[in-house]
């Protein structure tokens, strides 16, 4: 004998929101070259990069990756990517990330930003 479980609560079907055809999104990409003059090992460099990664991912919700000079212990090329729906907010976040990178004990030797607009 089988019985169906029933509930006295009525369920409402929820409609998914319709995407606005004109909605836009933006992705900001910051590429930076860092120089660690006081560093003496790859282990020390990883410590610095871990601190950068933790700060930008927690504080700004960004993605972080070391993409160059991985075998050198005093240099690094990193990329930070941030997504936002507002261009002004995105530019402010990229500016704050750059200020953070430039205010630490390492040297920011170069920094470039690029913004890509994405139609959602």
Which is more confidently placed, 22 or 113? 113
- For the entire predicted model, the pTM comes to 0.75
| CATH number listed for the domain at residues 25-119 | 3.30.70.1120
| Average pLDDT of the residues of the chain | 85
Tens digit of pLDDT for each residue in 60-89? 999 999 999 888 899 999 999 999 999 999
Contact call for residues 37 and 74 (beta carbons, < 8 A): yes
Q: How far is CA 65 from the centre of its chain?
A: 9
pLDDT band at 93 (very low <50, low <70, confident <90, very high): very high
What is the residue extent of each domain of the chain? 25-119
Residue 10: what pLDDT?
A: 53
Tens digit of pLDDT for each residue in 35-49? 999 888 999 999 999
3-state secondary structure of 115: strand
């Amino acid at each position: 004998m089988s019985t169906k479980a029933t509930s006295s609560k009525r369920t409402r079907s929820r409609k998914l929101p319709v995407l606005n055809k004109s909605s836009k999104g933006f992705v900001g990409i910051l590429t930076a070259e860092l120089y660690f003059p006081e560093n003496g090992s790859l282990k020390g460099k990883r410590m610095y990069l871990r601190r950068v990664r933790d700060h930008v991912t927690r504080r700004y919700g960004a993605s972080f990756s070391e993409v160059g000079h991985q075998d050198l212990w005093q240099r690094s090329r990193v990329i930070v990517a941030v997504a936002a729906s507002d261009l002004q907010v995105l530019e402010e976040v990229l500016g704050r990330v750059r200020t953070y990178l430039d205010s630490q004990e390492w040297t920011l030797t170069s920094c470039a930003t690029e913004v890509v607009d994405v139609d959602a």
